[in-house]
Structure 1
Amino acid sequence: MAETVSPVTRQVTKENQNTWTPSVDIRLEDVEDCLIYDRHGVSIPFKKLYQDRKSVVIFVRSFLCYSCKEYVDDLSKIPRETLEDANIRLVVIGQSSHLHIESFCSLTRYPYEMYVDPERNIYQKLGMRREEIFTESAHPSPHVKSGMFTGQVKSILRAMASPVFDFQGDLHQQGGAIIAGPGSQVHFTHFDTNRLDHMPINWLLQLAGVQQTLDFSDKPKIIHV
Protein backbone atom coordinates (compact mmCIF):
# COMPACT_ATOMS: atom_id res chain seq x y z
CA MET A 1 0.00 0.00 0.00
CA ALA A 2 1.38 3.42 -1.06
CA GLU A 3 2.39 5.85 1.66
CA THR A 4 0.09 8.86 1.97
CA VAL A 5 2.00 12.09 1.53
CA SER A 6 0.58 15.29 2.99
CA PRO A 7 0.27 18.19 0.54
CA VAL A 8 2.94 20.88 0.84
CA THR A 9 1.64 24.39 1.37
CA ARG A 10 3.95 26.89 -0.27
CA GLN A 11 4.04 30.58 -1.04
CA VAL A 12 5.47 32.21 -4.14
CA THR A 13 7.62 35.29 -3.61
CA LYS A 14 6.91 38.16 -5.98
CA GLU A 15 10.59 38.78 -6.73
CA ASN A 16 10.81 35.55 -8.69
CA GLN A 17 7.95 33.23 -9.48
CA ASN A 18 10.33 30.27 -9.48
CA THR A 19 11.59 30.98 -5.96
CA TRP A 20 9.55 29.02 -3.44
CA THR A 21 9.57 29.63 0.29
CA PRO A 22 7.63 27.75 2.96
CA SER A 23 4.31 29.37 3.80
CA VAL A 24 2.55 29.49 7.10
CA ASP A 25 1.05 26.10 7.78
CA ILE A 26 -2.72 26.27 7.71
CA ARG A 27 -5.24 23.65 8.71
CA LEU A 28 -8.54 23.84 6.90
CA GLU A 29 -9.96 21.61 9.62
CA ASP A 30 -9.76 24.64 11.93
CA VAL A 31 -12.13 26.68 9.74
CA GLU A 32 -14.15 24.14 7.77
CA ASP A 33 -17.29 24.68 9.87
CA CYS A 34 -17.05 28.48 9.97
CA LEU A 35 -20.13 30.00 8.36
CA ILE A 36 -19.99 32.27 5.33
CA TYR A 37 -22.97 34.13 3.88
CA ASP A 38 -24.21 34.67 0.34
CA ARG A 39 -25.87 37.80 -1.04
CA HIS A 40 -29.23 36.73 0.42
CA GLY A 41 -27.81 36.21 3.90
CA VAL A 42 -28.01 32.42 3.60
CA SER A 43 -25.17 30.66 5.42
CA ILE A 44 -23.07 27.67 4.37
CA PRO A 45 -20.01 26.10 6.03
CA PHE A 46 -16.70 27.18 4.52
CA LYS A 47 -15.82 23.57 3.61
CA LYS A 48 -18.61 23.51 1.01
CA LEU A 49 -16.39 25.62 -1.24
CA TYR A 50 -13.66 23.05 -1.73
CA GLN A 51 -15.05 19.64 -0.76
CA ASP A 52 -15.87 18.43 -4.27
CA ARG A 53 -13.21 20.08 -6.45
CA LYS A 54 -10.21 22.37 -6.49
CA SER A 55 -11.08 25.96 -5.58
CA VAL A 56 -9.25 29.27 -5.79
CA VAL A 57 -10.49 31.31 -2.82
CA ILE A 58 -9.63 35.02 -2.66
CA PHE A 59 -10.04 36.93 0.62
CA VAL A 60 -10.32 40.71 0.17
CA ARG A 61 -9.81 43.52 2.68
CA SER A 62 -12.92 45.59 2.14
CA PHE A 63 -15.45 46.10 -0.62
CA LEU A 64 -14.69 49.83 -0.35
CA CYS A 65 -10.94 49.31 -0.85
CA TYR A 66 -9.93 50.61 -4.29
CA SER A 67 -7.17 48.02 -4.72
CA CYS A 68 -9.57 45.16 -3.89
CA LYS A 69 -12.11 46.58 -6.30
CA GLU A 70 -9.57 46.75 -9.12
CA TYR A 71 -8.27 43.26 -8.34
CA VAL A 72 -11.81 41.86 -8.54
CA ASP A 73 -12.32 43.87 -11.76
CA ASP A 74 -9.61 41.67 -13.26
CA LEU A 75 -10.95 38.47 -11.69
CA SER A 76 -14.19 39.22 -13.54
CA LYS A 77 -12.31 39.04 -16.86
CA ILE A 78 -11.48 35.35 -16.43
CA PRO A 79 -13.52 33.47 -19.05
CA ARG A 80 -15.93 30.95 -17.61
CA GLU A 81 -14.67 28.27 -20.01
CA THR A 82 -11.14 28.73 -18.62
CA LEU A 83 -12.36 27.70 -15.17
CA GLU A 84 -14.62 24.97 -16.49
CA ASP A 85 -11.87 23.40 -18.63
CA ALA A 86 -9.60 23.18 -15.56
CA ASN A 87 -12.52 22.15 -13.29
CA ILE A 88 -11.73 25.04 -10.93
CA ARG A 89 -14.11 26.93 -8.69
CA LEU A 90 -13.40 30.65 -8.19
CA VAL A 91 -14.68 32.31 -5.02
CA VAL A 92 -14.23 35.76 -3.48
CA ILE A 93 -14.82 36.27 0.25
CA GLY A 94 -15.19 39.69 1.89
CA GLN A 95 -15.63 40.67 5.51
CA SER A 96 -18.58 43.04 5.33
CA SER A 97 -22.31 42.52 5.72
CA HIS A 98 -23.89 40.38 3.01
CA LEU A 99 -25.91 43.47 2.04
CA HIS A 100 -22.91 44.78 0.09
CA ILE A 101 -22.32 41.71 -2.11
CA GLU A 102 -24.89 42.59 -4.78
CA SER A 103 -23.63 46.12 -5.37
CA PHE A 104 -19.95 45.04 -5.35
CA CYS A 105 -20.60 42.32 -7.94
CA SER A 106 -22.50 44.84 -10.06
CA LEU A 107 -19.70 47.41 -9.74
CA THR A 108 -16.94 44.98 -10.70
CA ARG A 109 -19.03 42.85 -13.10
CA TYR A 110 -17.84 39.84 -11.16
CA PRO A 111 -20.00 36.86 -12.27
CA TYR A 112 -18.75 34.09 -9.98
CA GLU A 113 -19.39 33.12 -6.35
CA MET A 114 -18.99 35.70 -3.61
CA TYR A 115 -19.55 35.34 0.13
CA VAL A 116 -18.76 37.24 3.31
CA ASP A 117 -17.23 36.35 6.67
CA PRO A 118 -18.56 39.33 8.67
CA GLU A 119 -17.02 38.30 11.98
CA ARG A 120 -13.63 37.61 10.28
CA ASN A 121 -13.54 34.16 11.87
CA ILE A 122 -11.74 32.55 8.93
CA TYR A 123 -9.35 35.48 8.49
CA GLN A 124 -8.36 35.30 12.14
CA LYS A 125 -8.16 31.53 12.54
CA LEU A 126 -6.00 31.16 9.43
CA GLY A 127 -3.70 33.91 10.69
CA MET A 128 -4.14 36.53 7.99
CA ARG A 129 -2.27 39.71 8.75
CA ARG A 130 -3.82 42.69 10.50
CA GLU A 131 -2.21 46.06 9.70
CA GLU A 132 -0.02 46.70 6.67
CA ILE A 133 3.69 46.32 5.99
CA PHE A 134 5.22 48.19 3.04
CA THR A 135 8.78 47.57 1.86
CA GLU A 136 10.84 49.32 -0.79
CA SER A 137 11.43 46.04 -2.62
CA ALA A 138 7.74 45.17 -2.84
CA HIS A 139 6.40 44.88 -6.37
CA PRO A 140 3.15 46.77 -7.00
CA SER A 141 0.14 44.68 -7.90
CA PRO A 142 -0.24 44.41 -11.70
CA HIS A 143 -3.99 44.57 -11.16
CA VAL A 144 -4.16 47.93 -9.35
CA LYS A 145 -4.24 50.80 -11.84
CA SER A 146 -5.02 53.72 -9.50
CA GLY A 147 -2.47 55.55 -7.40
CA MET A 148 -3.01 55.53 -3.63
CA PHE A 149 -4.38 59.09 -3.39
CA THR A 150 -6.71 58.74 -6.38
CA GLY A 151 -7.80 55.31 -5.21
CA GLN A 152 -8.64 56.51 -1.70
CA VAL A 153 -10.71 59.38 -3.11
CA LYS A 154 -12.65 56.88 -5.22
CA SER A 155 -13.24 54.75 -2.13
CA ILE A 156 -14.56 57.72 -0.14
CA LEU A 157 -16.92 58.71 -2.95
CA ARG A 158 -18.25 55.16 -3.19
CA ALA A 159 -18.79 55.07 0.58
CA MET A 160 -20.74 58.34 0.45
CA ALA A 161 -22.91 57.04 -2.40
CA SER A 162 -23.64 53.72 -0.73
CA PRO A 163 -27.21 53.26 0.56
CA VAL A 164 -25.76 51.38 3.54
CA PHE A 165 -22.99 53.64 4.83
CA ASP A 166 -20.29 51.73 6.66
CA PHE A 167 -16.65 50.79 6.12
CA GLN A 168 -17.69 47.43 4.64
CA GLY A 169 -15.08 45.58 6.66
CA ASP A 170 -12.18 46.17 9.05
CA LEU A 171 -9.81 48.41 7.08
CA HIS A 172 -6.82 47.05 9.02
CA GLN A 173 -7.50 43.46 8.02
CA GLN A 174 -5.50 42.12 5.08
CA GLY A 175 -6.64 39.36 2.77
CA GLY A 176 -5.00 36.53 0.88
CA ALA A 177 -5.50 33.61 -1.49
CA ILE A 178 -5.81 29.87 -1.02
CA ILE A 179 -5.94 27.01 -3.51
CA ALA A 180 -7.65 24.07 -1.84
CA GLY A 181 -9.56 20.86 -2.56
CA PRO A 182 -10.93 18.48 -3.28
CA GLY A 183 -11.26 17.55 0.35
CA SER A 184 -9.03 19.33 2.86
CA GLN A 185 -5.91 19.43 0.64
CA VAL A 186 -4.17 22.81 0.61
CA HIS A 187 -2.10 23.32 -2.52
CA PHE A 188 -1.04 26.94 -2.06
CA THR A 189 -1.47 29.96 0.21
CA HIS A 190 -0.56 33.62 -0.04
CA PHE A 191 -1.34 36.07 2.76
CA ASP A 192 -1.20 39.74 1.73
CA THR A 193 1.15 42.02 3.65
CA ASN A 194 -0.61 45.18 2.44
CA ARG A 195 -3.38 46.41 0.15
CA LEU A 196 -1.20 46.06 -2.97
CA ASP A 197 0.27 42.65 -2.20
CA HIS A 198 -2.16 40.61 -4.29
CA MET A 199 -1.06 37.34 -5.81
CA PRO A 200 -0.96 37.91 -9.61
CA ILE A 201 -4.02 36.21 -11.06
CA ASN A 202 -2.17 34.38 -13.83
CA TRP A 203 0.19 32.83 -11.27
CA LEU A 204 -2.77 31.70 -9.17
CA LEU A 205 -4.53 30.17 -12.15
CA GLN A 206 -1.41 28.38 -13.35
CA LEU A 207 -0.78 26.97 -9.86
CA ALA A 208 -4.38 25.74 -9.90
CA GLY A 209 -3.90 23.98 -13.22
CA VAL A 210 -4.85 26.49 -15.93
CA GLN A 211 -2.58 26.15 -18.96
CA GLN A 212 -3.21 29.45 -20.73
CA THR A 213 -1.99 32.94 -19.79
CA LEU A 214 -4.64 35.66 -19.73
CA ASP A 215 -4.15 39.31 -20.64
CA PHE A 216 -5.37 41.67 -17.91
CA SER A 217 -3.85 44.87 -19.30
CA ASP A 218 -6.06 47.80 -20.26
CA LYS A 219 -3.95 48.51 -23.33
CA PRO A 220 -5.89 48.45 -26.62
CA LYS A 221 -5.38 45.30 -28.65
CA ILE A 222 -3.73 45.63 -32.06
CA ILE A 223 -5.18 43.38 -34.72
CA HIS A 224 -2.82 42.60 -37.61
CA VAL A 225 -4.52 42.01 -40.95
Structure 2
Amino acid sequence: MAEEVLPITRQVTTESRETGTSFVDIHLLDVEDCLIYDRHGVCIPFKSLYQERKSIIIFVRNFLCYSCKEYVEDLSKIPREALEDAEIRLVVIGQSAHCHIESFCSLTGYPYEIYVDPERCIYQKLGMKREETFTDSAPPSPHVKSGMFVGQMKSIWRAMTSPAFDFQGDLHQQGGAIIAGPGSQVHFSHFDMNRMDHMPINWLLQLAGVQQTLDFSDKPKIIHV
Protein backbone atom coordinates (compact mmCIF):
# COMPACT_ATOMS: atom_id res chain seq x y z
CA MET A 1 0.00 0.00 0.00
CA ALA A 2 1.33 3.41 -0.98
CA GLU A 3 2.22 5.71 1.88
CA GLU A 4 -0.31 8.46 2.42
CA VAL A 5 1.12 11.88 1.69
CA LEU A 6 -0.23 14.60 3.96
CA PRO A 7 -0.89 17.95 2.27
CA ILE A 8 1.56 20.78 2.84
CA THR A 9 -0.04 24.16 3.29
CA ARG A 10 1.53 27.49 2.43
CA GLN A 11 1.75 29.85 5.39
CA VAL A 12 1.79 33.48 4.27
CA THR A 13 2.77 36.13 6.80
CA THR A 14 2.98 39.86 6.23
CA GLU A 15 6.72 39.48 5.79
CA SER A 16 6.51 36.66 3.24
CA ARG A 17 3.44 37.50 1.17
CA GLU A 18 5.62 38.84 -1.62
CA THR A 19 7.97 35.87 -1.77
CA GLY A 20 5.58 33.11 -0.68
CA THR A 21 8.50 31.01 0.56
CA SER A 22 7.32 30.05 4.06
CA PHE A 23 5.46 26.77 4.61
CA VAL A 24 3.71 25.02 7.48
CA ASP A 25 2.14 21.59 7.88
CA ILE A 26 -1.51 21.54 8.89
CA HIS A 27 -2.92 18.18 9.96
CA LEU A 28 -6.70 18.30 9.93
CA LEU A 29 -6.86 14.77 11.29
CA ASP A 30 -5.77 16.25 14.61
CA VAL A 31 -8.82 18.51 14.82
CA GLU A 32 -11.51 16.90 12.68
CA ASP A 33 -13.46 15.60 15.69
CA CYS A 34 -13.23 18.79 17.77
CA LEU A 35 -16.71 20.11 18.48
CA ILE A 36 -17.90 23.55 17.44
CA TYR A 37 -21.21 25.16 18.44
CA ASP A 38 -23.78 27.16 16.53
CA ARG A 39 -25.83 30.09 17.85
CA HIS A 40 -28.33 27.67 19.42
CA GLY A 41 -25.65 25.69 21.26
CA VAL A 42 -25.93 22.71 18.91
CA CYS A 43 -22.56 21.04 18.37
CA ILE A 44 -21.12 19.54 15.19
CA PRO A 45 -17.68 18.09 14.43
CA PHE A 46 -15.23 20.50 12.82
CA LYS A 47 -14.73 18.15 9.86
CA SER A 48 -18.33 18.67 8.74
CA LEU A 49 -17.37 22.15 7.54
CA TYR A 50 -15.07 20.95 4.76
CA GLN A 51 -15.94 17.31 3.99
CA GLU A 52 -18.34 18.01 1.14
CA ARG A 53 -16.95 21.17 -0.45
CA LYS A 54 -14.08 23.62 -0.35
CA SER A 55 -14.39 26.01 2.59
CA ILE A 56 -12.80 29.29 3.66
CA ILE A 57 -12.65 29.11 7.46
CA ILE A 58 -11.78 32.27 9.40
CA PHE A 59 -10.75 32.08 13.07
CA VAL A 60 -11.20 35.39 14.89
CA ARG A 61 -9.58 36.54 18.16
CA ASN A 62 -12.74 37.36 20.09
CA PHE A 63 -16.09 38.93 19.31
CA LEU A 64 -15.29 42.18 21.17
CA CYS A 65 -12.03 42.77 19.28
CA TYR A 66 -12.53 45.88 17.14
CA SER A 67 -10.23 44.62 14.36
CA CYS A 68 -12.12 41.32 14.16
CA LYS A 69 -15.43 43.18 14.09
CA GLU A 70 -14.30 45.35 11.18
CA TYR A 71 -12.80 42.37 9.35
CA VAL A 72 -16.06 40.42 9.64
CA GLU A 73 -17.99 43.49 8.52
CA ASP A 74 -16.02 43.29 5.28
CA LEU A 75 -16.63 39.53 5.05
CA SER A 76 -20.34 40.34 5.15
CA LYS A 77 -19.94 42.36 1.93
CA ILE A 78 -19.01 39.27 -0.11
CA PRO A 79 -21.91 38.61 -2.53
CA ARG A 80 -23.58 35.27 -1.93
CA GLU A 81 -23.60 34.54 -5.66
CA ALA A 82 -19.81 34.89 -5.81
CA LEU A 83 -19.45 32.09 -3.25
CA GLU A 84 -22.18 29.96 -4.82
CA ASP A 85 -20.70 30.25 -8.33
CA ALA A 86 -17.35 29.00 -7.01
CA GLU A 87 -19.04 26.40 -4.74
CA ILE A 88 -17.25 27.86 -1.73
CA ARG A 89 -18.44 27.68 1.86
CA LEU A 90 -17.56 30.68 4.07
CA VAL A 91 -17.34 30.08 7.83
CA VAL A 92 -16.29 32.23 10.79
CA ILE A 93 -15.23 30.61 14.07
CA GLY A 94 -14.91 32.50 17.35
CA GLN A 95 -13.82 31.36 20.78
CA SER A 96 -16.60 32.73 23.00
CA ALA A 97 -19.69 31.06 24.41
CA HIS A 98 -22.35 30.44 21.76
CA CYS A 99 -24.70 32.99 23.35
CA HIS A 100 -22.62 35.83 21.88
CA ILE A 101 -23.01 34.74 18.24
CA GLU A 102 -26.38 36.39 17.62
CA SER A 103 -25.35 39.85 18.82
CA PHE A 104 -22.05 39.68 16.89
CA CYS A 105 -23.88 38.86 13.66
CA SER A 106 -26.37 41.68 14.28
CA LEU A 107 -23.50 44.09 14.92
CA THR A 108 -21.49 43.15 11.82
CA GLY A 109 -24.28 42.21 9.43
CA TYR A 110 -22.54 38.88 8.82
CA PRO A 111 -25.03 36.55 7.03
CA TYR A 112 -23.00 33.36 6.57
CA GLU A 113 -22.13 30.42 8.81
CA ILE A 114 -20.61 31.12 12.20
CA TYR A 115 -19.62 28.83 15.09
CA VAL A 116 -17.61 28.96 18.28
CA ASP A 117 -14.83 26.84 19.74
CA PRO A 118 -15.19 27.90 23.41
CA GLU A 119 -12.42 25.60 24.69
CA ARG A 120 -10.07 26.77 21.87
CA CYS A 121 -9.45 23.12 20.99
CA ILE A 122 -8.88 23.83 17.29
CA TYR A 123 -6.90 27.02 17.90
CA GLN A 124 -4.50 25.16 20.19
CA LYS A 125 -4.12 21.95 18.21
CA LEU A 126 -3.45 23.82 14.97
CA GLY A 127 -0.84 25.92 16.75
CA MET A 128 -2.34 29.40 16.43
CA LYS A 129 -0.41 32.04 18.36
CA ARG A 130 -1.50 33.17 21.80
CA GLU A 131 0.54 36.37 21.92
CA GLU A 132 1.00 39.28 19.51
CA THR A 133 4.09 39.99 17.44
CA PHE A 134 4.36 43.32 15.62
CA THR A 135 6.86 44.28 12.93
CA ASP A 136 7.68 47.70 11.49
CA SER A 137 7.48 46.37 7.92
CA ALA A 138 3.96 44.94 8.20
CA PRO A 139 1.50 46.71 5.86
CA PRO A 140 -1.72 48.05 7.41
CA SER A 141 -4.76 45.84 7.18
CA PRO A 142 -7.11 46.98 4.40
CA HIS A 143 -10.05 45.89 6.55
CA VAL A 144 -9.35 47.69 9.85
CA LYS A 145 -10.50 51.31 9.69
CA SER A 146 -10.20 52.28 13.37
CA GLY A 147 -6.95 53.32 15.02
CA MET A 148 -5.71 51.15 17.87
CA PHE A 149 -6.60 53.54 20.71
CA VAL A 150 -10.10 54.34 19.43
CA GLY A 151 -10.67 50.69 18.55
CA GLN A 152 -9.71 49.48 22.00
CA MET A 153 -12.01 52.05 23.61
CA LYS A 154 -14.86 50.77 21.44
CA SER A 155 -14.10 47.18 22.52
CA ILE A 156 -14.07 48.11 26.21
CA TRP A 157 -17.33 50.04 25.88
CA ARG A 158 -19.02 47.10 24.17
CA ALA A 159 -17.82 44.80 26.95
CA MET A 160 -19.12 47.15 29.65
CA THR A 161 -22.52 47.56 28.02
CA SER A 162 -23.09 43.91 27.09
CA PRO A 163 -25.62 41.92 29.17
CA ALA A 164 -22.84 39.69 30.51
CA PHE A 165 -19.68 41.70 31.14
CA ASP A 166 -16.90 39.64 29.59
CA PHE A 167 -14.45 39.89 26.71
CA GLN A 168 -16.01 36.94 24.86
CA GLY A 169 -12.83 34.91 24.56
CA ASP A 170 -9.16 34.84 25.53
CA LEU A 171 -7.77 38.33 24.87
CA HIS A 172 -4.33 36.91 24.05
CA GLN A 173 -5.50 34.34 21.48
CA GLN A 174 -4.78 35.14 17.83
CA GLY A 175 -6.77 33.83 14.89
CA GLY A 176 -6.07 32.73 11.35
CA ALA A 177 -7.55 31.39 8.15
CA ILE A 178 -7.50 28.11 6.27
CA ILE A 179 -8.88 26.91 2.97
CA ALA A 180 -9.75 23.22 3.10
CA GLY A 181 -11.83 20.55 1.39
CA PRO A 182 -13.38 18.60 -0.07
CA GLY A 183 -12.23 15.92 2.32
CA SER A 184 -9.14 16.59 4.40
CA GLN A 185 -7.24 18.39 1.64
CA VAL A 186 -5.73 21.67 2.84
CA HIS A 187 -5.03 24.30 0.19
CA PHE A 188 -3.83 27.23 2.27
CA SER A 189 -3.19 28.39 5.83
CA HIS A 190 -2.41 31.71 7.48
CA PHE A 191 -1.98 32.22 11.23
CA ASP A 192 -2.27 35.81 12.42
CA MET A 193 0.77 37.32 14.12
CA ASN A 194 -1.32 40.05 15.75
CA ARG A 195 -4.76 41.68 15.69
CA MET A 196 -3.99 43.49 12.41
CA ASP A 197 -2.55 40.51 10.55
CA HIS A 198 -5.75 39.25 8.93
CA MET A 199 -5.30 37.71 5.51
CA PRO A 200 -6.70 40.16 2.92
CA ILE A 201 -10.13 38.90 1.90
CA ASN A 202 -9.54 39.26 -1.83
CA TRP A 203 -6.41 37.09 -1.48
CA LEU A 204 -8.44 34.41 0.29
CA LEU A 205 -11.19 34.52 -2.32
CA GLN A 206 -8.73 34.24 -5.19
CA LEU A 207 -6.83 31.38 -3.55
CA ALA A 208 -10.14 29.55 -3.06
CA GLY A 209 -11.13 30.03 -6.71
CA VAL A 210 -13.55 32.97 -6.51
CA GLN A 211 -13.19 35.04 -9.67
CA GLN A 212 -14.73 38.28 -8.44
CA THR A 213 -12.49 41.00 -6.94
CA LEU A 214 -14.20 43.22 -4.37
CA ASP A 215 -13.53 46.77 -3.25
CA PHE A 216 -13.44 46.99 0.56
CA SER A 217 -12.24 50.59 0.70
CA ASP A 218 -14.25 52.98 2.84
CA LYS A 219 -13.30 55.86 0.60
CA PRO A 220 -16.10 57.57 -1.37
CA LYS A 221 -16.55 56.20 -4.86
CA ILE A 222 -16.10 58.61 -7.77
CA ILE A 223 -18.59 58.10 -10.57
CA HIS A 224 -17.47 59.43 -13.95
CA VAL A 225 -20.32 60.65 -16.18
TM-score, reference length from structure 2: 0.95
Once the two structures are TM-superposed, the CA of residue 46 in structure 1 deviates from its matched residue by 0.1
Once the two structures are TM-superposed, the CA of residue 158 in structure 1 deviates from its matched residue by 0.6
2:30 is matched with: 30
Q: Distance in 2 between matches of 1:8 and 1:156?
A: 39
Q: Deviation digits for residues 21-80 of structure 1, max 9, x if unmatched? A: 233211000000000000000000000000000000000001000000000010000000
Contact 1:35 1:117 in 2 (8 A): yes
Q: Distance in 2 between matches of 1:99 and 1:9?
A: 33
Q: How does 1:11-90 map to 2 (within 5 A)?
A: 11-15=11-15, 17-90=17-90
Contact 1:13 1:21 in 2 (8 A): no
| SS class of match (2:51) | coil
1:183 is matched with: 183
1:121 is matched with: 121
Contact 1:61 1:171 in 2 (8 A): yes
Once the two structures are TM-superposed, the CA of residue 175 in structure 1 deviates from its matched residue by 0.3
1:8 is matched with: 8
2:165 is matched with: 165
Aligned-residue RMSD, C-alpha: 1.6
Note the residue ranges of structure 2 that are not aligned, 5 or more in a row. none
Contact 2:13 2:192 in 1 (8 A): no
Q: Distance in 2 between matches of 1:98 and 1:13?
A: 30
Q: Distance in 1 between matches of 2:61 and 2:13?
A: 20
Could you tell which deviates more after superposition, 211-220 or 27-36? 211-220
Q: Deviation digits for residues 60-103 of structure 1, max 9, x if unmatched? A: 00100000000001000000001001100000000000000000
1:96 is matched with: 96
Does 1:202 find its partner at 2:202? yes
Note the residue ranges of structure 1 that are not aligned, 5 or more in a row. none
Could you tell which deviates more after superposition, 158-167 or 79-88? 158-167
Aligned-residue identity in percent: 83
Q: Distance in 2 between matches of 1:134 and 1:198?
A: 13
Once the two structures are TM-superposed, the CA of residue 201 in structure 1 deviates from its matched residue by 0.3
Once the two structures are TM-superposed, the CA of residue 222 in structure 1 deviates from its matched residue by 1.9
Once the two structures are TM-superposed, the CA of residue 219 in structure 1 deviates from its matched residue by 1.4
Q: Distance in 1 between matches of 2:115 and 2:158?
A: 20
| SS class of match (1:215) | coil
Does 1:220 find its partner at 2:206? no
Contact 2:8 2:23 in 1 (8 A): no
Which residue identity lines up with residue 52 of structure 1 in the other structure?
A: E
Could you tell which deviates more after superposition, 204-213 or 9-18? 9-18
Q: Deviation digits for residues 89-132 of structure 1, max 9, x if unmatched? A: 00000000000000000000000000000000000000000110
Matched residues, number? 224
Q: Deviation digits for residues 126-173 of structure 1, max 9, x if unmatched? A: 000011011111112110000100000000111111112111000000
Q: Distance in 1 between matches of 2:16 and 2:131?
A: 25
Which residue identity lines up with residue 46 of structure 1 in the other structure?
A: F
Which residue identity lines up with residue 178 of structure 2 in the other structure?
A: I
Once the two structures are TM-superposed, the CA of residue 186 in structure 1 deviates from its matched residue by 0.4
